Amino acid sequence: MTFTGQAYALGAGTVINAIATWKGAAFGVDLKTFADVELTKESSSFIGTIEGVPQGDTTLIERSMELVLEHFGIEMGGTVVTRSEVPLASGLKSSSAAANATILATLDALGETLEPLDAVNMGVRAAKDAGVTITGAFDDACASFFGGIVVTDNRKNELVKRTEKEMDVVIFAPDRQSFSSQTNVHNSELLAPWVDMAYDLALEGEYEKAMTLNGFLYCGALGFSTDIMMEALKCGVKGVSLSGTGPAYSALVDRKMADTLTKVWGDLGTSGKVINTKINNDGLTKP
């Protein structure tokens, strides 16, 4: 007998990267990662597939499925297939989205539920176990799960603040990948006093100022160009940042500004794609 389940979770953009201080902020975007799970009592193994990425590392989604079954004391195996609108390894929280979607799809297959924050923390644990994150990415996981803008303390796994905001999001995703696990942590930690300033701005609701400060800091620490950010500022954009550990950049804008920035970034001549989306305030369920 087999049990099947489906679910999705959101991609997200960065306001504050938590690597320097373990305190972060992020916003859910209207790009989704989908998971299809099939469980069976005929096997004890876990097999993951990332659609379109035949050689992709599936440890995270396999571990996410395994943790759900362990939680309920169920001895089964299964398969999980994920497909995503979120560019992978670009700083747009594809790992958090994949973990959340897999956990929810596994719960759906079992006919079980978890408290929202328990599900988020399970995904954070899976990410740590799989070695795809440095801080556990609790901020990214919360943005992916709850939508809106979240401010978190990743060391305490505490959701400090959540705000809903109607804004468009423009993303520039270069044609290369950057994995969080390979980030220069030492350089990032040197930024701590200034990242704290950005975090305080986020707590005050000054999200655009916070993310722009965050972007210049982390571009410097991680060796990314600030040219893309500067082009956005020249257009009048107030909030633009390197997303996560890159290489993607994201900007919070109004509808009119979105069209302008989409054209400007599209004309840069840099290999990549411009994605026009918005903050998703609905999330998967409320915290």
- The annotation status of 91 as a binding-site residue, yes or no, is yes
Chosen CATH of 165-278 out of 3.40.50.2300, 3.30.70.890, 3.40.50.720, 3.30.70.600:
3.30.70.890
DSSP-derived secondary structure for 86-110 = SPTTSSS-HHHHHHHHHHHHHHHHH
Bridge partner list, 171: 250, 275
- The annotation status of 92 as a binding-site residue, yes or no, is yes
Cα separation values, 58 from 61, 156, 237, Å: 6, 27, 37
pLDDT digit string (tens) for the chain, length 287 residues:
789 999 999 999 999 999 999 999 999 999 999 999 999 999 899 999 999 888 889 999 999 999 999 999 999 999 999 999 988 777 788 999 999 999 999 999 999 999 999 999 999 999 999 988 877 899 999 999 999 999 999 999 999 999 999 999 999 998 865 554 455 678 888 999 999 999 999 999 999 999 999 999 999 999 999 999 999 999 999 999 999 888 999 999 999 999 999 999 999 877 889 999 999 999 997 66
- The annotation status of 95 as a binding-site residue, yes or no, is yes
Q: List where CATH 3.30.70.890 sits in the chain.
A: 165-278
- The annotation status of 110 as a binding-site residue, yes or no, is no
- The annotation status of 90 as a binding-site residue, yes or no, is yes
Report the predicted TM-score, pTM, of the whole model to 2 decimal places: 0.94
- The annotation status of 88 as a binding-site residue, yes or no, is yes
- The annotation status of 258 as a binding-site residue, yes or no, is no
- The annotation status of 89 as a binding-site residue, yes or no, is yes
- The annotation status of 271 as a binding-site residue, yes or no, is no
Domain 2-162 in this protein, CATH class: alpha beta
